[in-house]
Amino acid sequence: MQENKKKQILLVGNPNVGKSTVFNTLCNKKQKTGNYAGVTVASHSGKYVYENEEVEVIDLPGSYSVYPSSEDEAIFSKYLIDEQKNYAGVVYILEALSLKRGLLLFQQIQDFGIPMILIVNQIDQAERRGVTIDIQKFSEALGIKIIQTNAKEQIGIDEVREAVYNNEFLKADKISFETPNEHKDFIQKLASHKGFDNEYKAWMSLSLGTDLGRIGSVVEQINGSEAKSLVPKRLQVQETVRRYQYVDKILEDVISKKAQFKELLTEKLDKVLVHKFWGYVVFLLILLVIFQSVFFLAEYPMNWIESFFSWLAAFTGEHLPEGPVNSLISNGIVPGIGGIVVFAPQIGILLYFLYLLEDSGYMARVVFLMDRLLRPFGLNGKSIVPLVSGTACAIPAVISTRNIENVKERLLTILVTPFMTCSARLPVYSIVIGLIISEGSFLGIKYKALVLMAMYLLGFLVALLSAAILKGFIKNQGKTYLVMDLPAYKKPLFGYDFKMVLGKVWDFITGAGKIIFIVSIIIWFLSYFGPKQKADELVAANVHLDHSYLAKMGKGIEPVIAPLGYDWKMGVGILTSFVAREVFVGTMSTLYSLEDDAPEVKVIDKMRRDVKPNGEKVFSFATGISVLLFYAFAMQCVSTLAVVYRETKSWKWTGFQVVMMTGLAYFVSMIAYQILK
Partner 1 sequence: MEEKGLHKLSGFPKNKMGKILGYDNDHLKMPNKIIEMGLLPETIFRILYQAPFNGPMYVEFGAEKSRIALREEEGDYIIVEELN
Chain residues that interact with partner 1, rule: CB under 8 A = 64-65, 67, 69, 97-101, 104, 231, 233-234, 236-237, 240-241, 244, 257, 261-263, 266, 270, 274-276, 279, 364, 367-369, 371-373, 381, 405, 479, 481-488
Q: Which residues pair with 44 in a beta bridge?
A: 59
Question: Which residue, 231 or 297, has its beta carbon nearer to partner 1?
Answer: 231
Task: Report, in Å, the least distance between residue 306 CB and partner 1.
Answer: 44
Cβ-based nearer residue to partner 1, 350 or 488? 488
Which letter does DSSP use for residue 178 in this model? Answer: P
Helix, strand or coil, per DSSP, at residue 94:
strand
Q: Which is nearer to partner 1, 266 or 326 (CB)?
A: 266
Query: Residue 493 phi/psi, 5° resolution?
Result: -85, 80
Quote the least distance from Cβ 304 to partner 1, whole Å.
44
Whole-number minimum distance, CB 100 to partner 1, in Å?
6
* Alpha carbon separation from 634 to 71, 434, 577, 668 (Å, rounded): 28, 21, 10, 10
CB closer to partner 1 out of 482 and 553: 482
Least distance to partner 1 from the beta carbon of 328, Å?
56
**Minimum separation from the CB atom of position 23 to partner 1 (A):** 23
CB of 185 to partner 1, least distance (A): 23
List 10's β-bridge partners, or say none.
58, 90
Enclosing H/E stretch for 494:
helix 494-528
* Side chain identity at residue 590, one-letter code: T
Q: What is the closest distance, in whole angstroms, from the C-beta atom of residue 128 to partner 1 in the complex?
A: 14
**Distance between CA 347 and CA 341 in Å, rounded?**
10
| Inter-residue contact 145 to 170 (CB < 8 Å) | yes
List phi, psi (to 5°) of 155. -85, 130
Nearer residue to partner 1 within complex by CB, 273 or 515: 273
Return d(Cα 349, Cα 498) in angstroms, integer: 9
Task: State how far the Cα of 21 lies from the Cα of 497, in Å rounded to an integer.
Answer: 11
Residues with Cβ < 8 Å from 416, sequence gap 6 or more? 379, 387, 462, 463, 464, 466, 467, 470
Q: How far is CA 534 from CA 540, 542, 548, in A?
A: 8, 13, 14
- Angstrom distance (rounded) from CA 118 to CA 171: 12
Closest among 385, 383, 362 to 270, alpha carbons compared: 362
Q: How far is the CB of 250 from partner 1 (least distance, A)?
A: 14
676 contact partners, CB below 8 Å, separation of at least 6: 621, 622, 625, 626
**Closest listed residue to residue 379, CA positions, set 370, 390, 368:** 370
Pairing status of strand 540-541 against strand 131-133:
unpaired
- Interacting residues of 285 by C-beta distance below 8 A, sequence separation 6+: none
Task: Work out the angle between the directed axes of helices 494-528 and 19-26 (0-180°, nearest 10).
Answer: 70
Check if the beta carbon of residue 637 is closer than 8 Å to that of residue 584: no
Please report which residue ranges of 562-648 form alpha helices under DSSP H. Answer: 568-577, 583-595, 603-609, 621-633, 638-648
On whether the CB atoms of residues 100 and 115 are closer than 8 A, the answer is no
Return the number of the residue (47 or 242) whose C-beta is nearest partner 1. 242
**In this complex, which beta carbon is closest to partner 1, that of residue 16 or of residue 636?**
16
Q: Comparing C-alpha atoms, which of 197, 292, 176, 307 is closest to residue 242? A: 176
Cβ proximity to partner 1: between 132 and 166 the closer is: 132
Q: How many Å apart are CA 287 and CA 273, to the nearest integer?
A: 14
| Residue 284 beta carbon to partner 1: minimum distance, rounded to whole angstroms | 15
For partner 1, the closer of residues 104 and 116 by Cβ is: 104
Q: In 443-482, at which residue ranges do the beta strands (DSSP E only) sit?
A: 445-446
Q: CB of 403 within 8 A of CB of 647?
A: no
- Positive or negative, the CA dihedral 218, 222, 223, 226 is negative
Nearer to partner 1 by C-beta: 181 or 245? 245
For residue 332, what are the CA distances in angstroms to 522, 524, 602? Answer: 11, 8, 12
> Residue 336 in contact with residue 589, Cβ under 8 Å?
yes
For residues 381 and 482, the answer to whether their CB atoms sit within 8 Å is yes
By the 8 A CB rule, do 127 and 261 touch? Answer: no
| Min dist. Cβ of residue 248 to partner 1 (A) | 9
Nearer to partner 1, 256 or 650 (CB): 256
The least distance separating partner 1 from the CB of residue 464, rounded to whole angstroms, comes to 16
Q: Which is nearer to partner 1, 67 or 673 (CB)?
A: 67
User: Whole-number minimum distance, CB 596 to partner 1, in Å?
Assistant: 60
Q: Which residue, 83 or 248, is less far from partner 1 as judged by CB? A: 248
Identify which of residues 162 and 182 has a Cβ nearer to partner 1 in the complex. Answer: 182
Residue 661 C-beta: closest distance to partner 1, Å: 30
- Please report how close the Cβ of residue 63 comes to partner 1 at its closest, in angstroms: 9
Of 18 and 624, the one with the shorter C-beta distance to partner 1 is 18
Min dist CB 313 to partner 1, Å, is 53
Q: How far is the CB of 208 from partner 1 (least distance, A)?
A: 12
In the bound state with partner 1, the residue whose beta carbon lies nearer, of 336 and 487, is 487
